[in-house]
Structure 1
Amino acid sequence: MDETTVRLLCPECTKNWQASPGKLPESAEMFHCPNCHATRRTAEFMRTDHDLQTLKQLG
């Protein structure tokens, strides 16, 4: 079975990557970019509304 992932995009350094929703903090919690260490709410790193909804449902 394929693992569900969400697509992330750092609003500061524009790093793109994918992660499992279960391994990320909830959407309102703080998250740190692994590239530039920018700190924002996890929701702000989601590339699309679909990714955000997936995070909220499976995170």
Structure 2
Amino acid sequence: MDETSVRLLCPECAKDWQVSPGDLPASSDMFHCPNCHASRRTAEFMRTDRDLQTLKQLG
């Protein structure tokens, strides 16, 4: 069975990666880039609107 993941893109350093939505805080909560430690709302790290919707549904 495939595990659902969302794609993230840091608006500061442009690091991109994938993670399970259950491993992320809510879309309106603060999230910190593991690469440059930029702090923004989790929603701002979502690569696409579809990734954001997946986070909201499964996170």
TM-score by length of 1: 0.99
In structure 1, the residue matched to 2:53 is 53
In structure 2, the residue matched to 1:27 is 27
Q: What amino acid is aligned across from residue 20 of structure 2 in structure 1?
A: S
TM-fit CA distance, 1:56: 0.1
Identity across aligned pairs (percent)?
A: 83
In structure 1, the residue matched to 2:7 is 7
TM-score by length of 2: 0.99
State the 4+ residue runs in structure 1 displaced beyond 2 angstroms: none
- How many angstroms apart in 2 are the aligned matches of 1:39 and 1:58? 22
TM-fit CA distance, 1:43: 0.1
- Say how many residue pairs are matched: 59
CA deviations on 1:1-57 (whole Å, 9 max, x unpaired) are 110000000000000000000000000000000000000000000000000000000
